[in-house]
Structure 1
């Protein structure tokens, strides 16, 4: 089934100024879904799932949060936090005129989806959460992203060199996921350092007591053998959420390489959230 695609943009105001965010819409209608990428990865990583959901009649929007993909990349650490990203999701819904949406994401995107449900519960109809980073992933996250932060801060030429080497590679001649990885290498050292600093020292995710109050249906997908996004965090989250359903992926690559099973689970959750809509009209909020 052919799915329409439209690229859009909107602007948010913050202490760092006025910033531009870019998104892609798939499909149409009032059954809204917002999908968020993993840390440093462009929104294009969610394109396959967006196509699968839109083919089932959903109106899907993939967003590049600040510092990602084609959105602006300020060099101010205060511009980056899970809460700031959740506020950007709400601003996107306002821009689209969407009263509610199912919000989903991977890794950092999963944490942002949870935060959106905490700060604006009336806007979130359901959650599709893949590989959240909660208490058990903190140490591994520091080991993985700490050196990247130090390199961006003290060896900026290494980040610039990687950008110069990867930017000229035509994305159309490499496999889809190789192109996504190349896009993730397209970083500016000052903005990368600011983003990682903001995420390291800001709020990483809602607290357990806040997660237990999230009452919407939620699909939680966990990865085995993934130290940064431990399976235990996903299991714990699914137990905490009153309407959480846990699905164990065979690996972190399942949803990338053989997505059919997990796509079906996501379509089922989203379709169930919109089966008896409470508010299907657009709104001018």
Structure 2
């Protein structure tokens, strides 16, 4: 039976940000964030598995995504500002600390949040991180999409309206993908512009100071989510480990092999001496 998700929202820097919660209120806290142009449904199935294991999981829609406020102001959609939104969610929920993480954009947003407020972060769950080596691939993939959204907005909107009429898939991954391709082109272009205009990841000197437990998940054969980047990040972070997925979809379509290691990591974030003082609200 699917886990019941509680939905809410809060205001931060003039924007309304949406989130969902799953799992027992007294459980150890986790915040998961989605990839670029996607939404919190991407992590719903993972959140349900973690909730059933006893964790309290929050899924955040970053500004410009999902149920959160949209904007055409690219300067409001930088990744370092997304990191501030993750910390603001902790404040709103009254959580003194949590494990932060996510996939792709969500992973590097968690890194920014950890640099900004390391005392609020029990651990980092970093799936498919996008690092410096991947910047050219990101530009090659995202800039044409941004240009198409801006200069072919009229036919794009027509196609998006047709896609929004389709039945919603059952799996969160496919729901999130359908929402991505059916969103307004003006908002999509603004998100890409904002993400590319600010810092992608915190500088190396700041990453080296992040001593909380970290789990990095990488996979081969992907220019954007380069396995060499994942390996390098796991070596830079002083308290990190690396696991390698068979594909970018394995955790969301066939999670059985990866989940035992993931659950062991989350257990370690609670047992680690640096995080054992987590307060329960």
Q: In structure 2, what is the equivalent of residue 41 of structure 1?
A: 38
Matched, 1:178 2:191: no
| 3-state SS of paired residue (2:263) | helix
Quote the offset at 1:120 in angstroms: 0.7
- For 2:159 and 2:228, locate their aligned partners in 1 and report how far apart those are by CA, in whole Å: 34
* Counterpart contact for 1:30–1:280, Cα < 8 Å: no
| 3-state SS of paired residue (2:258) | helix
- For 1:245 and 1:190, locate their aligned partners in 2 and report how far apart those are by CA, in whole Å: 39
Q: In structure 2, what is the equivalent of residue 206 of structure 1?
A: 202
Q: 5+ unaligned residues in a row in structure 2: which ranges?
A: none
Moved over 4 A (4+): none
Matched, 1:264 2:263: no
* 1:58-73 mapped onto 2 (5 Å cutoff): 58-73=55-70
Quote the offset at 1:134 in angstroms: 0.6
- For 2:81 and 2:43, locate their aligned partners in 1 and report how far apart those are by CA, in whole Å: 20
| 3-state SS of paired residue (1:273) | helix
* Counterpart contact for 1:159–1:187, Cα < 8 Å: no
- The size of the alignment, in residue pairs, is 277
Matched, 1:164 2:164: no
- For 1:181 and 1:231, locate their aligned partners in 2 and report how far apart those are by CA, in whole Å: 23
Q: In structure 1, what is the equivalent of residue 5 of structure 2?
A: 5
Q: 5+ unaligned residues in a row in structure 1: which ranges?
A: none
The more displaced of 82-91 and 27-36 is 27-36
**RMSD (CA atoms):** 1.5
* Counterpart contact for 2:132–2:201, Cα < 8 Å: no
* 1:79-228 mapped onto 2 (5 Å cutoff): 79-172=76-169, 176-228=172-224
| 3-state SS of paired residue (1:29) | coil
Q: Rate the CA distance shift 1:19–1:176 in 2: closer, same or farther, 3 A.
A: closer
Quote the offset at 1:275 in angstroms: 3.1
Over residues 212-268 of structure 1, what are the superposed CA-to-partner deviations in whole Å (9 max), with x where a residue is unaligned?
A: 110000000001111111001100000000001010111112112111222222221
* Counterpart contact for 2:32–2:100, Cα < 8 Å: yes
- For 1:162 and 1:107, locate their aligned partners in 2 and report how far apart those are by CA, in whole Å: 26
- For 1:97 and 1:30, locate their aligned partners in 2 and report how far apart those are by CA, in whole Å: 14
Quote the offset at 1:121 in angstroms: 0.4
* Counterpart contact for 2:78–2:199, Cα < 8 Å: yes
* Counterpart contact for 1:2–1:55, Cα < 8 Å: no
| 3-state SS of paired residue (1:105) | strand
- For 1:281 and 1:58, locate their aligned partners in 2 and report how far apart those are by CA, in whole Å: 12
